[in-house]
Amino acid sequence: MSFVGFDEVGARSPSGAAILEGFSLEVREGEAMALIGPSGSGKTTALKLVNALRLPSAGAVRVAGRATTEWDPIALRRGTGYVIQEVGLFPHMTVVENVALGPTLAGWEDARVDARCEEMLELVGLPRPAYGLRYPHELSGGQRQRVGVARALAADPPLVLLDEPFGALDPVTRWALQGEFRALQQRLRKTALFVTHDLREATRVADRVAVVDRGRVVVCLGAAEVAASDLPVLRALKEASGL
């Protein structure tokens, strides 16, 4: 069953230049889909269309069977976790306060918020007794990314969007977090759309990989099929990613 759908979607910059044109893709419920392609290909724009930070200039973007233009944008965003490269944690809030933000805004009772924060911090390897009262500046880059993932999942959204979340980390930390994210996604069965420029990362974190070029999806394959593919666009990505 499709949870996110792009139907011949177009998107334009403020100057009118085409960013996406004829962009079509289906993301199944519970699936992790990686979007990969060169800078400027439209990957981040596609993410922003999913939670209505942008609206399409043509076609339709659907979430849970409804066009994003039919959703109340606040309700749509509250049902969507969002993780970005720079994390975006509030520096004046402790770790637990950052993680509690989504459930609190959703109107959860205090006891439920408290239990959820404890659960999520344990899941990402930052137990509350040791890390809950720390501030973002007291954490390493990898730990801040873990908090960002915990915050995105805390309100139990069915959908998670990730925009190069591990791109600024050192290779060892990045490799570890890729594995941790994949295990967490499979355990919780969240639908996830993951933007990356690294094919090695795409095949580690996703069920399927969609290659985006010049505003279109040019190929979409299962992660296991990527290694066997001899398509020119994938050969170039393999070389760039050292595969």
pLDDT of 144-189, one tens digit each? 988 998 999 999 999 999 998 887 788 888 898 899 899 989 998 9
Domain C-terminal end among 109, 125, 153: 153
Residues 220 and 128 in one domain: no
The residue-averaged pLDDT of 80-104 equals 89
Q: How confident is the model at residue 243 (pLDDT cuts 50, 70, 90)?
A: low
Residues 74 and 98 in one domain: no
Residues 167 and 134 in one domain: no
Q: How confident is the model at residue 236 (pLDDT cuts 50, 70, 90)?
A: confident
The answer as to whether 195 is a domain residue is: yes
Is the separation of the CB atoms in 63 and 74 below 8 Å? no
The answer as to whether 88 is a domain residue is: no
Residues 187 and 172 in one domain: yes
Q: Return the higher-pLDDT residue of 85 and 212.
A: 212
Q: Is the pLDDT of residue 204 over 80?
A: yes
For residue 242, the model assigns a pLDDT of: 65
Residues 204 and 221 in one domain: yes
- Separation CA 107–CA 97 (nearest Å): 15
The answer as to whether 215 is a domain residue is: yes
pLDDT of 12-57, one tens digit each? 998 889 999 999 999 999 999 999 988 888 999 999 999 999 999 9
Who contacts 216 (Cβ-Cβ below 8 Å, separation ≥6)?
Answer: 20, 21, 22, 23
Residues 147 and 33 in one domain: no
pLDDT of 97-139, one tens digit each? 999 999 998 899 999 999 999 999 998 889 999 999 999 999 9
Number of structural domains the chain divides into: 2
User: Which domain, by its residues, includes 122?
Assistant: 94-153
- Domain containing residue 38: CATH number: 3.40.50.300
